Structure 1
Amino acid sequence: MDLKLYLSVTFLLSVWTTAKCDQIPDEVLHMECRDRYFLIAVDLSFTGNEPHFEAVDETGVYPITTQYAAECGYSVRVLPSPDRVALRASYFSCHTDNNDDVFTFNFNLVAMHQGLEITYALNKTCSPSLPWSPREVTCELNYMEVSVRSDVTCPTGTKRDYWDATVQTAYTSATSEWQVMFQGGEPLTINLTEAQKRGYAFALTYGRLVFRTPYGQPDSFSTEVNGVPVEVTHATLFSRQSWVILMVDLMAACPMSEGSYDNNGYMMWEIPEVLHPLVSGLREMQINLGANGELVEQPVAEERGYIVEKHDNMVQISIPYNAEGGTRKSSVSDGLFEYYMFDLYLDLYFVDEDHLETRLRCHRTLATPLLPRPLFAEDPPPDFDAVCSESGISFRLDYRPYDYLWEITIGSDPLTPELVAQHGYIMSNNSQSLLLEVPLFTQGYKYKDITLKGFFGTFEIRLRDHETSTVLSSTVKTCPFTTNEFIMCSTDGRMTVVANLSLAIPSGGVPARTNLIAKNCGPKETDDTRALFSFPLNSCGSTVQLGKEYVTYENKIVSKKLGALRNPADSGNEIDRVTMQCTYPLAGLHRLFSVHRFESDTDGVGRIVHSTHATGDLMDPTKEPITVIQTPVSTTKRFRKPVSRRPAYHPAAKEKVSSFLNYVSKKRN
Structure 2
Amino acid sequence: MGCLAGLGWFILLVAVVNIEAQNKPPIKINSKCLGNLLRVDVSRLGGSFLEVSAVINNSSIILTPSLSSKCGFTIKKDHLGNAVIYASVQNCFAQNVDDKAFTTKLGLRLQSDNVVDKFYLVEETCYYSSWASREIICKPNYMEVSVKKAAPNDYNLPAYPYSDPRKAAEQPMDASLKIATVVFLTPEERVMQVDEAQRNGYGISSTLTRLVLRSPNPSRETYTKDVAGVPMTVLSTSIIFEKTKLTTPLYAGAACPQAQGGVFFTETSIRGFLPRPHCPL
Structure 1 and Structure 2 fold alike (TM over 0.5): yes
For the residues of structure 2 that align with 1:132 and 1:176, how far apart are their CA atoms? 22
1:268 maps onto 2:266 in alignment = no
In the alignment, what sits opposite 1:237?
Answer: 239
SS of equivalent residue, structure 1 residue 127: strand
Cα offset for 1:79? 3.8
In the alignment, what sits opposite 2:158?
Answer: none
For the residues of structure 2 that align with 1:128 and 1:275, how far apart are their CA atoms? 28
Asked if 2 retains the 8 angstrom alpha-carbon contact of 1:228 and 1:257, the reply is: no
The one-letter amino acid of 1:260's match is F
Q: How does 1:215-364 map to 2 (within 5 A)?
A: 215-258=217-260, 259-262=263-266, 265-277=268-280, 279=281
Cα offset for 1:223? 1.1
Identity of aligned residues (%): 23
String of CA shifts for 1:332-363, please: whole Å, max 9, x gaps.
xxxxxxxxxxxxxxxxxxxxxxxxxxxxxxxx
For the residues of structure 1 that align with 2:179 and 2:148, how far apart are their CA atoms? 21
Q: Which has the higher contact order (CA 8 A, sep 6+)?
A: 2
Asked if 2 retains the 8 angstrom alpha-carbon contact of 1:110 and 1:117, the reply is: no
For the residues of structure 1 that align with 2:87 and 2:200, how far apart are their CA atoms? 21
String of CA shifts for 1:594-640, please: whole Å, max 9, x gaps.
xxxxxxxxxxxxxxxxxxxxxxxxxxxxxxxxxxxxxxxxxxxxxxx
Cα 1:208–1:66 change in 2 (3 A) is same
In the alignment, what sits opposite 2:101?
Answer: 102
For the residues of structure 1 that align with 2:266 and 2:114, how far apart are their CA atoms? 47
In the alignment, what sits opposite 1:529?
Answer: none
Cα offset for 1:210? 0.6
Cα offset for 1:262? 4.7
Cα offset for 1:33? 2.5
In the alignment, what sits opposite 1:118?
Answer: 117
The one-letter amino acid of 2:271's match is M
For the residues of structure 2 that align with 1:236 and 1:134, how far apart are their CA atoms? 16
The one-letter amino acid of 2:273's match is E
Q: Considering only CA atoms, is the larger Rg found in Structure 1 or Structure 2?
A: 1
What TM-score results when the alignment is normalised by the length of structure 1? Answer: 0.33
Asked if 2 retains the 8 angstrom alpha-carbon contact of 1:184 and 1:234, the reply is: yes
For the residues of structure 2 that align with 1:187 and 1:97, how far apart are their CA atoms? 34
In the alignment, what sits opposite 1:214?
Answer: 216
The one-letter amino acid of 2:88's match is S
In the alignment, what sits opposite 2:42?
Answer: 42
Cα offset for 1:105? 1.6
The one-letter amino acid of 2:33's match is C
For the residues of structure 1 that align with 2:202 and 2:183, how far apart are their CA atoms? 12
Asked if 2 retains the 8 angstrom alpha-carbon contact of 1:254 and 1:275, the reply is: no
In the alignment, what sits opposite 2:140?
Answer: 141
String of CA shifts for 1:520-563, please: whole Å, max 9, x gaps.
xxxxxxxxxxxxxxxxxxxxxxxxxxxxxxxxxxxxxxxxxxxx
In the alignment, what sits opposite 1:183?
Answer: 185
In the alignment, what sits opposite 1:195?
Answer: 197
The one-letter amino acid of 1:84's match is N
String of CA shifts for 1:124-149, please: whole Å, max 9, x gaps.
23133561112111112221111111
The one-letter amino acid of 1:196's match is Q
Asked if 2 retains the 8 angstrom alpha-carbon contact of 1:104 and 1:123, the reply is: no
Cα offset for 1:107? 1.6
In the alignment, what sits opposite 2:173?
Answer: none
String of CA shifts for 1:559-609, please: whole Å, max 9, x gaps.
xxxxxxxxxxxxxxxxxxxxxxxxxxxxxxxxxxxxxxxxxxxxxxxxxxx
Q: How does 1:494-643 map to 2 (within 5 A)?
A: none
String of CA shifts for 1:100-131, please: whole Å, max 9, x gaps.
22222222111124545524132323133561
The one-letter amino acid of 1:86's match is V
Cα offset for 1:66? 1.9
For the residues of structure 2 that align with 1:148 and 1:64, how far apart are their CA atoms? 25
Cα 1:218–1:49 change in 2 (3 A) is same
For the residues of structure 1 that align with 2:57 and 2:194, how far apart are their CA atoms? 23
Asked if 1 retains the 8 angstrom alpha-carbon contact of 2:49 and 2:112, the reply is: no
For the residues of structure 1 that align with 2:276 and 2:185, how far apart are their CA atoms? 22
Q: Which runs of 4+ in 1 moved over 6 A?
A: none
Cα 1:64–1:177 change in 2 (3 A) is closer
Cα offset for 1:240? 4.0
Aligned Cα root-mean-square deviation (Å): 2.9
Cα 1:117–1:65 change in 2 (3 A) is farther
Cα 1:115–1:133 change in 2 (3 A) is same
Asked if 1 retains the 8 angstrom alpha-carbon contact of 2:179 and 2:239, the reply is: no
For the residues of structure 1 that align with 2:75 and 2:35, how far apart are their CA atoms? 18
In the alignment, what sits opposite 1:78?
Answer: 77
Cα 1:200–1:129 change in 2 (3 A) is closer
For the residues of structure 2 that align with 1:221 and 1:227, how far apart are their CA atoms? 16
SS of equivalent residue, structure 2 residue 104: strand
Asked if 2 retains the 8 angstrom alpha-carbon contact of 1:55 and 1:64, the reply is: yes
For the residues of structure 1 that align with 2:97 and 2:122, how far apart are their CA atoms? 16
Instruction: Give the aligned length.
Output: 237
Asked if 1 retains the 8 angstrom alpha-carbon contact of 2:184 and 2:190, the reply is: yes
Asked if 1 retains the 8 angstrom alpha-carbon contact of 2:230 and 2:274, the reply is: yes
For the residues of structure 2 that align with 1:96 and 1:183, how far apart are their CA atoms? 29
What TM-score results when the alignment is normalised by the length of structure 2? Answer: 0.74
String of CA shifts for 1:152-209, please: whole Å, max 9, x gaps.
899xxxxx88649x9xxxxxxxx98711111112211111011100000111123111
In the alignment, what sits opposite 1:515?
Answer: none
Cα 1:161–1:184 change in 2 (3 A) is farther
String of CA shifts for 1:378-436, please: whole Å, max 9, x gaps.
xxxxxxxxxxxxxxxxxxxxxxxxxxxxxxxxxxxxxxxxxxxxxxxxxxxxxxxxxxx
String of CA shifts for 1:417-461, please: whole Å, max 9, x gaps.
xxxxxxxxxxxxxxxxxxxxxxxxxxxxxxxxxxxxxxxxxxxxx
Cα offset for 1:276? 2.9
Cα 1:177–1:93 change in 2 (3 A) is closer
Asked if 1 retains the 8 angstrom alpha-carbon contact of 2:165 and 2:250, the reply is: no
Cα offset for 1:243? 4.7
Asked if 1 retains the 8 angstrom alpha-carbon contact of 2:48 and 2:112, the reply is: no
Cα offset for 1:61? 2.2
In the alignment, what sits opposite 1:31?
Answer: 31
The one-letter amino acid of 2:92's match is C
The one-letter amino acid of 2:269's match is Y
